[in-house]
Structure 1
């Protein structure tokens, strides 16, 4: 993969684009990739650039994103505790809201985002992974929301998204105790989609999955993600209404005509992303 400046330049992130899959690496290994305010700002910048590229006019250069961490010890070990100790309560609230905004942006992207977790995904790291569509973990991965050990609570979405992933009872137990779990337990709870032996294996598996997605109609994939994300926390009736809206919008696309036509003509579709 070749480095790309298409989506900007960064001090704490590395971005590589290959075969329409963007790999975004949080690159602060000396700090176990902790989410400093600079990292949070750069994540916002990077994901905003990806969002802006997801149009027919831009050619849909990105069809999927892999998020991972550098250094081999951590995906993202958590928030930056050194920075937090000097924050006022109001500054901490701003820090919380800025990273929450990043996680909401990830959920709104019309392309799937896969977290490849190797090593620690604790606190903010776990919360970053939870905002992604899938989590592929290595056998060395560890997950947890240990904020109570510091006299804190989750601030980047853990109290909302962890129950959605693992259920209310399991989430309460993990958050109240601050307990860490390994990859096998994360898979059993439904937090991790897959567990692979090494980081390279997990990255390859993520790219394979995103490669499958990249061959599909990008607008349809985005609408499917919108319908699923939009249904979270809503009643069944409200979720179905959102699904019907997405279904209707799909019918307005050229890709729908191409996909159905190709099916009837027994040929492979060629999606234009519009």
Structure 2
């Protein structure tokens, strides 16, 4: 079943999520392919028909026992861990509903854009279960615990403006066209930066939040030190001193940072 429509423009891959997408592993494979493609620096996720969703229908979940539920959750959590582990930046563009797994996938993205009419929710409590794709943990790492508990306990939907006020959404737009145009412009601007350094910054942020403070500081120190061994450091600082535009060229495919 073809669950995704994929197109590449410039350095960005746009992945459209269809409502019929039920297998998190399928999206995992698409993302891993994009990560391996040297022509792609940014990954954009968007709902094909406005809704931002992935996962099984309630009628299917109703037939699950504990064994099937664990396999389903493991696949969903593998997806969000893959998303957070990719070196390329992932941007969610939401113009509609992002409920349940759709909300969880959005939270695994690096940047979240949404239209003013979009709504977000963890409705699982109304079905007698809880979120299983990492939503409770992803949300708690982005915003205050009390707000996350309210969303999970009530199942209430919230607006994009509310998520923006809480620091979860990065920006809210009047409509999909203005949101997409803004994302185009952002990707064009970021494409002028070092893709390696953007990936290193993402890894440092995502890894550090899982560590205690001292270990996180050491991780940052090691990453910072490693960046000084790269050609892009010499190019960036040289361009600054010479008052010219830098021409970065380092890529994750060619360099590998390993934590000491």
In the other structure, the counterpart of 1:211 is 188
**How many pairs are equivalent?**
251
Tell whether the 8 Å contact from 2:6 to 2:16 is kept in structure 1 after alignment: yes
TM-score, structure 1 normalization: 0.87
Give TM-score scaled by structure 2 length: 0.92
Query: How many Å apart are 1:211 and its aligned residue?
Result: 1.8
- 2:124 corresponds to: 147
Instruction: For structure 2, list consecutive stretches of 5 or more residues without a partner in the other structure.
Output: 252-260
Is the contact between residue 112 and residue 210 of structure 1 (CA under 8 Å) also seen in structure 2?
no
Distance 1:83 1:191 in 2: 30
Match of 2:46 in 1: 68
Q: What's the CA shift string for 1:200-245, capped at 9, x where partnerless? A: 2112212222222111011111100011111113222121111111
Distance 1:34 1:172, change over 3 A: farther
**Equivalence for 1:36:** 22
Q: Secondary structure at the match of 1:22?
A: strand
Q: 2:174 aligns with which of 188, 194, 197?
A: 197
Runs of 4 or more consecutive aligned structure 1 residues displaced over 4 Å after TM superposition? none
Q: In the alignment, which residue of structure 2 is the partner of 1:48?
A: 32
Q: Secondary structure at the match of 2:201?
A: helix
- C-alpha deviation, 1:248, in angstroms: 1.7
Give secondary structure in 2 for the equivalent of 1:166: coil
C-alpha deviation, 1:123, in angstroms? 0.6
Tell me the equivalent position of 1:11: 2
Distance (Å, rounded) in 1 between the aligned partners of 2:12 and 2:45: 11
**C-alpha distance in structure 2 between counterparts of 1:15 and 1:35, whole Å:** 14
Unaligned runs of 5+ in 1: 1-9, 28-32, 54-59
Superposed, which structure 2 residues align to 1:91-106 within 5 Å?
Answer: 91-106=68-83
**Aligned partners of 2:3 and 2:20 also within 8 Å:** no
Aligned CA RMSD, in angstroms, stands at: 1.5
> Which of 148, 170, 180 is the aligned partner of 1:171?
148
Give the match for residue 115 of structure 1: 92
